[in-house]
Every structure is written in C-alpha cells, then in structure tokens.
Amino acid sequence: MAIGVAEPPQAASLADDFIKFEDSSSESDDESVAEAPNTSSAAGTKRSLAEADEVEEQQGTDPTKFQRCYNGQPVPPWLAGQQRLGKGKTPEIHTMLNEEVTKFVNYISPTPEEHQMRSWVIERMQNILDEWDLPGARPVAHCFGSFETKLYLPTSDIDLTIMIYNPTDNRVSSLYESRDSIRAFLYKLARQLKNKGFCDSCEVIAGARVPIIKTQEKISGIAVDISINADSGMKSAQVQKSFVDKVYPNALRSLVLSIKQFLYQRSMNEVYTGGMGSYAITLLAVSLLQMHPRIRSGGLDPSKNLGVLLIEFFELYGKRFNYDNVCVSVLDNGCYLDKRQKSFYNFTQTYLLSIEDPCDTSNDVTKGTYGINRIKQTFGGAYDMLNNAIFAYHQTRKHGKPINNSLVAQATPERSSKRIRGKHGKSKDVPITLQINDDPWAPVSFLSSILHVDSQTISMRRRLVDTFYKGTMQECLGVEYKPQLVKALDSIPDLSRSKPNKVEVDSEQPSSAQEQINRLQFDFTKAEAKESATVVESEDENPVFISDDEDNQSSDEEEGAL
C-alpha cells in the first residue's frame, strides 16, 4: 500500500493554515462556543452562531442524500446513513475523530449471532473430542486469544488449545509433554477432524515454535487454530481481559480493535509470517496509556480522546520508539527496560521489538515478529495519512479546497488522475478536480484514509448470520434454539435478514455492540436426552493407552509430511 506524506504548507500561509489540534481534558469538559457575528433575524433580534447551529441541527438534513463524503470519497460503512459527526457547523476535529473511532468499533464488533456461531464451533470441537476413543487421555478444548477476550474481528480465527488430562487424577497427561508426542497427536487429531466432517482439510504446522493445526470449520467457515497443552495462552487471555475490563474499560478495546483491523487489511496480523499478534498489540496499547504523561497525571480522559490516542500510537511506534535498546513492560504501572539487561537483545537483529510478557518475565512476546521494520514503516505512514486527512479537511473548511496539491491524491484514494490521449497519440495524466460538497453537514471521515472494510469481511458476516437463522449448526449439534435477541445490533442493516421478534429495552442511549453481546439471552435445549457440557467431568470411562505401533506410524507420517 502506497503511503502518501503531506508536503508542509508554505511559510507565508503557515499562520493561517495552522490547526489547533487540542484534546478533551477531564479537568474541563466545557465545550467552547464560537463568538457569534452580528446577524439580524426577521424580527430584528440577534442571535449567536451557536444558537443558529442548534436550530439548524434540530431541523436536520436528510442523511440518505449523502452518498459521498465532503471531498467526494464514498461514505465508509461505519458512517452509512449518517450526517457529519460533531455538533454545530464548525465542530472540534478531535471530537469528530473520537466519535468516528466509536462508530467504527461499534460497526466492526461482532453481532450476537456471530458470537453465538463461534461458541457453537467450540462446542462442536468438544463433541468430537468426547466421541473420540482416545487411549489414556481425556482431551478438553479450551478457548483463549481474541475470542476469550472479546477482542476479535469478524475475520479473526478461533484459538483453541487441547489440554490432554489424565482421567485418573485430572492432571495434564505426561504422555503428551514432549514435543514429538505433541506433533504425533496433531496428525491424529487432523485425521479425526476430517473423518468427523468438522473440516475439509487441515494444515499441520509441526515445525513452528508452538506446533498447531490450521483448519476451517465446515459449516460456519470460521478459521480455527489448534495447539496442544499450551496453557500459556489462557494465562495471557486473563491478563488481556483484566486490562480491558478493569484497568482501561472505556478506551483499550477501541484502540486494539482499530489497530488490529489496520494490520489485518495489510496482512501483518499473523505472527508466523512475521506479523504482530493480538496479545502484542494489546500490550503496546496498554504501555501507551500507562506511559502517557497526561493520563498518568489524571489530566486526560482516554474515553474522550480515542482518536487522539490512536494517532499518538502510530506516532510513537512508527516514528519515536527506540526499538534497538528499549523493552516494553506493563508490570507495576508500566516502564521501559534495557533490552540488554533483560537478555532480549538480538545482536544479529537489533531492530526487533521486545515486549516483556507479564505472565512470564523471561519471555519476549514479540521475538517472532521478524517483520517489525515493515510494521514500523506502516505505523509511521498511518500517522502521516491521518494528519493529511485532518489537514485537508481543515483547509477545505477554511479555503473551500485543499491548497496543498499533495493532499488531493489522499482525498481521492480511488482515482487521483485519469489518462487522456494527447497530440501524436501520446497519453498523459490529467488530475481530477475534487468534487467538494459545501454542505456543512456532509459526512467527514478521517479513518477511511487508513481503514476499510473489504467485501470478504462483509460476505463472511452475511454468511454467519444466514447460517445462524438457517439452523444448520443447530441441527448438527442437536439443539433446538429459541433465541431472544435483546436489542440486536443494527449497525449493519444489510446483515439483518429475517430475524425473530426482539425484546425491546427501555433505554434512551443505544447500546454498544459489546453491551449487546453481554446482554444476549439464548434458550437452547438438547433435542436428544443427553448432557451438553463443554468440559466433560465424567471419570467412568476406561480408555486404553496408545500402542507403540501407532506412535511409530504417526512419526513416520509426520516425517513424510515434512
């Protein structure tokens, strides 16, 4: 993705074009009101500009007439059907940006149907494990990662770890502690999943630092990553949930989801390809909030400055952070450590990012993120592009159009020029003139300069919702569903098809997507008379141990696959 950098404004007009980009302080939340010019009404009375804006806002404009933003860009899906954010004709930019981040997070958050479908995928996995006559062990599927922390995107996979317990004492079986035994078990599990129709194919990555199976559940199409006896993932999930739910409940989730979507659409979100995982993103965002001087002093409310903090995140880790010498730590209210003293310094790759694992201080969370240089450049480019988008809107609001030519291409990412045939049959590029909408209520999007929602994401969400109401997964699991959706999410209207009746909730303020997930109520009953426990606690089974011949056969198959 090409990253455009805005040219600095001319020195002569610097004073006129300077943006006073302030943030909202928790010390004083009073809104500034512009001084009103002298305007006479029909009755000869005068009113302030703020009053005139309030009257116009109450009258309202038709949001359906806005198909494009003020600068000709298509309206992003998280702002579809809405007029410009902020209050009054000249709202504060930081307020508009903060509201847009909130709108984006509400849009990208999972619907109750999507969340339930993922829960059923985990239940189906456990059912297959329960039916498996596995010698000498009792496998239990535990979910960790983004699903457990509610920090997953619509396209995120489900991270599962199969804990293999000894049925006699309910402790982790010693038969599956070695790396070779785990790799052999992965190949057996892959065959079992295919035989039971859970998936069409499985990819066993046995050579990874943590051997896993990558597959896709057949009915829902949700990707699943399966590891064996990886209890560290469950510990890290608890750390993330603590930070999101207790320490920074109104800010951290929005920052993490925005950054995750940013990396996902650039294919930088998979650790095994050099990208950055959800755990590392969460710890970086936590460190930013911990080390922010105004947040530490209590002078800044993070929930009212989500857009500003997002820009500062890209600035810090894209332009300012010392990757060669500094290690990030979130313990004890956060600090920066010396990589050499932590023994995290890699003399052959000094540029690598180092993050101390709060669950295991000897573990470097991002030691596998070998593509950090590319991520760093992309973070820096996002900082430039967001500032360019803000500056272009400021110039348009002040002068009627962006006066910096370098901002025109940024304002029209679809097509910044067209080719025409000139003299002697030669073609040349002709810049396209911006179609500026002078309506003060035309939508304005800053995040669309770095974020977008592709057709694959939209198609997947539609498929999950359609599958939910078709009842395919319920039939496979043998459950009869009677859903009662409590104020179901309406941020994606085209995803809502034929839904059952909703239970209305007396609330003036619309609930966020996460609140709707938390308040979701389902009544599921088994069609057949059998227990539906995700974790089997019965000790009546008498499994037999794996024979040596089966172990040798699995090892031979593993070597052949490698």
30, with CB counted inside 10 A (0-12, 13-18, 19+), is exposed
Give me the mean pLDDT over the 219-236 stretch: 89
For helices 278-291 and 252-264, angle between their N-to-C axes, nearest 10 degrees: 130
Q: Which residue has the tokens 């073609």?
A: 427
**Confidence (pLDDT) at 402:** 73
**Confidence (pLDDT) at 286:** 97
Q: Which two tokens stand for residue 119?
A: 């829960």
Give me the mean pLDDT over the 223-238 stretch: 88
**Radius of gyration of the chain from its Cα atoms, rounded to whole angstroms:** 27
**Confidence (pLDDT) at 174:** 82
Give yes or no for residue 35 having a pLDDT over 50.
no
- Residues with Cβ within 8 Å of 547's Cβ and at least 6 positions away in sequence, in order, are 135
Give yes or no for residue 518 having a pLDDT over 70.
no
Give yes or no for residue 505 having a pLDDT over 80.
no
**Confidence (pLDDT) at 431:** 54
Q: What is the pLDDT of residues 534-560, one digit of tens each?
A: 333 333 333 333 233 444 444 444 444
Highest mean pLDDT among 21-35, 159-173, 352-366, 400-414: 352-366
Give yes or no for residue 167 having a pLDDT over 90.
no
Local structure of 407: helix, strand or coil: helix
Q: What is the pLDDT of residues 306-335, one digit of tens each?
A: 999 999 999 999 999 999 999 999 998 999
Q: Which residue has the higher pLDDT, 439 or 498?
A: 439
Q: How confident is the model at residue 136 (pLDDT cuts 50, 70, 90)?
A: confident
Local structure of 476: helix, strand or coil: helix
Cα–Cα distance list, 265 to 260, 262, 275, 357, 453 (Å): 9, 6, 12, 26, 8
Q: What is the pLDDT of residues 238-296, one digit of tens each?
A: 899 999 999 999 999 999 999 999 999 999 998 888 999 999 999 999 999 999 999 99
**Confidence (pLDDT) at 66:** 78
**Which of 79-83, 166-170, 180-184, 217-221 is predicted least confidently?**
166-170
Query: What is the dihedral sign for C-alpha 481, 485, 491, 496?
Result: positive
**Which of 50-54, 374-378, 499-503 is predicted least confidently?**
499-503
Q: What is the distance between the terminal CA atoms of the chain, rounded to a whole angstrom?
A: 34
Q: What is the pLDDT of residues 406-422, one digit of tens each?
A: 555 454 444 445 555 55
Q: What is the pLDDT of residues 152-165, one digit of tens each?
A: 999 899 999 999 99
Cα–Cα distance list, 456 to 64, 212, 320, 453, 463 (Å): 25, 25, 34, 8, 10
Q: Which two tokens stand for residue 165?
A: 């317990």
Mean pLDDT computed over every residue of the chain: 76
Give me the mean pLDDT over the 62-80 stretch: 82
**Confidence (pLDDT) at 416:** 47
**Confidence (pLDDT) at 253:** 95
Q: Which residue has the tokens 């910044």?
A: 416
For each of the domains in the chain, give its residue range(s) and CATH number, in order of start: 51-83+405-419+427-443 (no CATH), 108-230+453-562 (3.30.460.10), 234-378 (1.10.1410.10)
**Residue 288 carries which side chain, given as an amino acid letter?**
L
Give me the mean pLDDT over the 97-113 stretch: 94
Q: How confident is the model at residue 17 (pLDDT cuts 50, 70, 90)?
A: very low
Give yes or no for residue 5 having a pLDDT over 90.
no
**Confidence (pLDDT) at 42:** 42
**Which of 19-23, 193-197, 242-246, 477-481 is predicted least confidently?**
19-23
Is pTM beyond 0.95? Reply is no
- Confirm if 388 and 382 have CB atoms less than 8 A apart: no
Question: What does residue 93 show for φ and ψ, rounded to 5 degrees?
Answer: -65, -40
**Confidence (pLDDT) at 399:** 80
**Residue 336 carries which side chain, given as an amino acid letter?**
Y
Q: How much of the chain exceeds pLDDT 70, in percent?
A: 68
For helices 306-315 and 278-291, angle between their N-to-C axes, nearest 10 degrees: 100
Burial per residue of 32-71, b for 16 or more beta-carbon CB atoms within 10 angstroms, e otherwise? eeeeeeeeeeeeeeeeebbebbeeeeeeeeeeeebeebbb
Give yes or no for residue 359 having a pLDDT over 70.
yes
Q: Which residue has the tokens 């539906």?
A: 532
CA 518 from centroid of its chain's CA atoms: 18
Q: Which two tokens stand for residue 526?
A: 């088994």
Q: How confident is the model at residue 233 (pLDDT cuts 50, 70, 90)?
A: confident
Give yes or no for residue 21 having a pLDDT over 50.
no
